[in-house]
Amino acid sequence: MEATLNFEEKDWLACCGSTKFAKEMASASPFSSLDQAVSAARDIWFNKVDVNGWLEAFAAHPQIGQWSKGEQSTAISTASTSILQELADWNARYRQKFGFIFLIFASGRSSGEILVELKKRYENRPIVEFEIAAQEQMKVTELRLAKLFATRTRSAATGKPSQEVPTRTRPPITTHILDVSRGSPAAGVEVLLEMWHGAQPRPSFGGRGDAGGWVYQGSSKTNTDGRSGQLTSIVDAVKPGIYRISFNTGEYNPSGFFPYVSIVFEIRESQKLEHFHVPLLVSPFSFSTYRGS
């Protein structure tokens, strides 16, 4: 028999700043699983919470650039003074146009990526942007629900994380490509993820003796937002080791300088519960990357 988890109205309010949402979730409780709670949350958010409730939830968020610890950790680590200032300026323009703060599921996104998306969405009609903001709010709510259930489950009898309620809501390794020459996401780029399983403990510099050592993990093409599909399974603990992520930049831009770009990185035992976001900033004659989180 499945155990049910009971939460108070304040718990639901912490997941979404709409009082109507919190009251409806409390009324629909208890839930036997995270999936059941997320299903109820989606129905309540999109079908029972009105426009005022949406605005109330939007207002409960910190402005992008005035960081929400954890959910905007990647943006914090990649924010330069100039980008922070530009984010502040565009936030002000956005709010003046739409009447509410810019809302985005910021987990795993760099400050530069967020700025690109802000500028892109600024061009939307208000009714379109309002719907997008509501969808982004739901993504944030789902992440918070997953954390809420994981925390409550871990505090149950065993004191160990539940296998039925993963703490992750996305794969542990993700990527995103920005075409800096166009100032937009790079769509349709093939991405390949491999892991080192060679006879040597580590791949050699220059690739000497590495034949057969790299093992396929997953591949996909970037979408219109420049984000790849799922490259690995959604697991709580990623397997420590050395990984290589490759981008087919030659196919994306045949006249460019790089036929492909490969980035090799190591995940240590102490880092297996972390998230690794490996963004690529690319132009015909240059590229750069950094460690996201």
Q: Hey, CA dihedral for 160, 166, 169, 170, is it positive or negative?
A: positive
- Interval 75-92 mean pLDDT: 70
Report yes or no: 143 and 71 within 8 Å, Cβ to Cβ.
yes
Q: What is the model's pLDDT at position 81?
A: 66
- Interval 135-158 mean pLDDT: 80
Q: What is the model's pLDDT at position 69?
A: 45
Q: pTM above the 0.75 mark?
A: no
197-233 confidence digits (pLDDT tens): 888 888 888 766 667 788 888 888 888 888 888 888 7
269-285 confidence digits (pLDDT tens): 988 888 888 888 888 77
Q: What is the model's pLDDT at position 42?
A: 94
Task: Tell me which amino acid residue 112 is.
Answer: G
The Cα 231–Cα 58 span in angstroms is 31
Q: What percent of the chain has a predicted confidence (pLDDT) above 70?
A: 82
6-65 confidence digits (pLDDT tens): 788 988 998 998 999 999 999 998 898 889 999 999 999 999 999 999 999 998 876 554
Active-site positions read: 61
Report yes or no: 287 and 258 within 8 Å, Cβ to Cβ.
yes
Q: Which carries the bigger pLDDT value, residue 291 or residue 246?
A: 246
Q: What is the model's pLDDT at position 290?
A: 59
Q: What percent of the chain has a predicted confidence (pLDDT) above 90?
A: 32
